[in-house]
Amino acid sequence: MDESTPHIVDISDQDIEPLCIYMKNFRGRGSDRKFWQTRFAHWWQNNPFYKQGMIRGKLLRDGGDIVGFVGTIPVPVQIGGEEIIAYISSSWGVKPQYRKSSMKLLARLLVTIKKSEHPYIINNPLANTDMFYKLLGLRKLPTCFTKKYTIFNGPLARFSCRLPADSTPKWLRMSISAIEKRLYPLGDNATLRVEKISKAGEEFDKLWGQSRHNIVNTKSRSAASINWYCFGNKTYNNKLLFAVYAQDCLVGYAIFRESRQSGGSFLECLDIWCDNQDADSISALLSYVLRYSSNQYYHGIVTFDYAGTYGWLSGCKSFAVEEKSVSGFYQLPQNLKQTITVDNSYYVFAEGDVGI
């Protein structure tokens, strides 16, 4: 092979350290070598669903130099009611002078995954890359969400978002939050109890076992997958896990992360799962997290239009709505013949590599 011609190779163990350096230089600010060492270890070495020999992605090399990378992460999903491993896309990045090879790099990865007979999922791609996935034959993920809500802790919190972050003293923001809590207290649900927890236990496996067939196409929500997703990488996008109980029995949970938007600091919802997507359980979770966000001096929470959200919003004092859908693409192996539709699927914001 002519080593001066860019060529595509699988990722080996020996490639990890050079790849960390490549991604550090490619991504630049806020992305050091240690960041990528930890992140790659989370994706593969410390991933309970990764087995030796699984696909980690592809490298584009020019001679001995890495000039492009597209990664994959194995995660459990449920397709047609059966739990299987899927590959999710992450960090597709090619140096500018080699961009003409970007499609070839991704296409080669898709061929390899297709031969492995695993599904391939990418979520929330950039708008200007949609046409690439369509050209490569991927199908659009159906979405059951069409609206994104930014719920402020009250009118004062909404006003506080307009204050310049660099020149507004912390004591003023904390005073506004304290006043907001006194003016607009949130009541507790009389029959449901919500807690912030640090680990998903066996009760999560029980909930997943009794509720998983309500939706046949979705991500796996076993305790192992939740713990890996929420707490497997403690240095990147730390998650908050909230559980809702009815008479001490787990009936649902929600995952949030910190997010800065609309000029403020919020807790953003990545996933909500309740038995039969019960509106009361979802309402109890959102109420608790909104109150928690106020106590921790956030400006509020961000969420999609989950079941019962619209009715819950009637008790909120201040919120903004925008048209927003969960977007993404997928490729299925030939042996999976079922059709993925809006009616039989539940794909949330935390699909693909979001938050990983």
* Average pLDDT, integer, range 271-294: 93
Res. 222 pLDDT band, cuts 50 70 90: very high
* Radius of gyration for the chain, computed over Cα atoms and rounded to the nearest angstrom: 22
Average confidence score pLDDT of the chain: 88
In order of their start, the domains of the chain are: 7-140 (3.40.630.30), 147-324 (3.40.630.30)
Res. 165 pLDDT band, cuts 50 70 90: low
| Lowest mean pLDDT, pick from 41-45, 137-141, 261-265 | 261-265
Q: What is the pLDDT of residue 134?
A: 86
Tell me the pLDDT tens digit for each residue of 10-49.
999 999 999 999 998 887 666 788 989 999 999 999 999 9
Res. 1 pLDDT band, cuts 50 70 90: very low
Burial (Cβ within 10 Å: 0-12, 13-18, ≥19) of residue 82 = exposed
Residues 6+ apart with CB under 8 A from 139: 329, 330, 331, 340
DSSP-derived secondary structure letter, 7: E
Res. 281 pLDDT band, cuts 50 70 90: very high
Tell me the pLDDT tens digit for each residue of 296-308.
888 899 999 999 8
Tell me the pLDDT tens digit for each residue of 94-108.
998 998 998 999 999
pLDDT of 293 > 50? The answer is: yes
Joined tokens for residue 326 = 């969960």
Separation of CA 118 from chain center: 20
pLDDT of 245 > 80? The answer is: yes
pLDDT of 335 > 50? The answer is: yes
Joined tokens for residue 70 = 């597209």
Q: What is the pTM of this model?
A: 0.91
Residues 6+ apart with CB under 8 A from 28: none
Calpha distance 198→31 (Å, rounded): 27
Q: What is the pLDDT of residue 29?
A: 61
The 10 Å Cβ neighbour count of residue 18 is 14
* Average pLDDT, integer, range 68-89: 94
| Contact status, residue 194 vs residue 244, Cβ threshold 8 Å | yes
Tell me the pLDDT tens digit for each residue of 186-202.
556 668 999 999 999 99
pLDDT of 267 > 50? The answer is: yes
Give the E-state strand segments of the chain in sequence order: 7-10, 57-62, 65-79, 82-94, 120-123, 139-140, 147-152, 192-197, 217-219, 239-246, 249-261, 264-274, 300-304, 318-323, 328-331, 345-346
| Contact status, residue 232 vs residue 199, Cβ threshold 8 Å | no
| More confident of the two residues 85 and 31 | 85
Calpha distance 293→296 (Å, rounded): 5
Res. 184 pLDDT band, cuts 50 70 90: low
